[in-house]
Chains A and B, each alone.
Chain A
Amino acid sequence: AQSVTQPDIHITVSEGASLELRCNYSYGATPYLFWYVQSPGQGLQLLLKYFSGDTLVQGIKGFEAEFKRSQSSFNLRKPSVHWSDAAEYFCAVATTSGTYKYIFGTGTRLKVLA
């Protein structure tokens, strides 16, 4: 069955530190991959997406993610975190065979220390 795992429920980093949020997926075919961010009380905002091609994708707000097929991973990174990055981050896989739908991970809540 298709699934998305975000192993870290909570992550705390200091402002200015680098960040990596992990995402692993289980899906038989080539997936479409996404990262969304949700601030408290807000909807989900698309950070970046991977469909094909270059495995390192750049997104908004200085985020990037790297697709590693051999590891079934799509980790999100940012070289220097800002206090405004505190939010919940969701990784999602879109199933491309059969019914097209998103499967979301359980989310990682990021806390940024001043």
Chain B
Amino acid sequence: DSGVTQTPKHLITATGQRVTLRCSPRSGDLSVYWYQQSLDQGLQFLIQYYNGEERAKGNILERFSAQQFPDLHSELNLSSLELGDSALYFCASSGGATDTQYFGPGTRLTVL
């Protein structure tokens, strides 16, 4: 158990819908990262937050957004969902902005 929690574990929704994925980092960690894992793209870095501020952006679509709240939990919002958005979404956390990342169990999103 890494100490990073993600909810929900599974999410099934329809095209065009919007969903919110939630991540709670390890106690004391200030940095949160979001990744997408799909069969064709592998593990892709989406975005990083550090202590409430956006720190780095990766291959995140404009339809996707994230935020980190004062209690340091983070949410990833995915809107106008497409079939191709079906994937595993992982959250990771680290103590500082450049420390080792510890991964949560992931949320499996299925878009029908």
User: Which residues of chain A have a CB within 8 Å of any CB of chain B?
Assistant: 34, 36, 42-46, 49, 90, 94, 96, 99-104, 106-107
> How far apart sit A46 and B97, CA to CA, in the bound complex (Å)?
17
Binds A, one of B13-21, B68-76, B100-108: B100-108
User: Which residues of chain B have a CB within 8 Å of any CB of chain A?
Assistant: 2, 4, 33, 42-43, 45, 48, 55-56, 58, 90, 92, 97-98, 100-106
Return chain B residues, CB-CB under 8 Å to A34. Answer: 100
A43-B103, A43-B105, A101-B58 known; A107-B98 Cβ under 8 A:
no
A100-B97, A102-B45, A107-B42 known; A46-B102 Cβ under 8 A:
yes
A34-B100, A42-B105, A94-B98 known; A104-B2 Cβ under 8 A:
no
Interface SS majority for chain A:
strand
* Complex: chain A residue closest to B42, CB-CB: A106
> How far apart sit A45 and B92, CA to CA, in the bound complex (Å)?
11
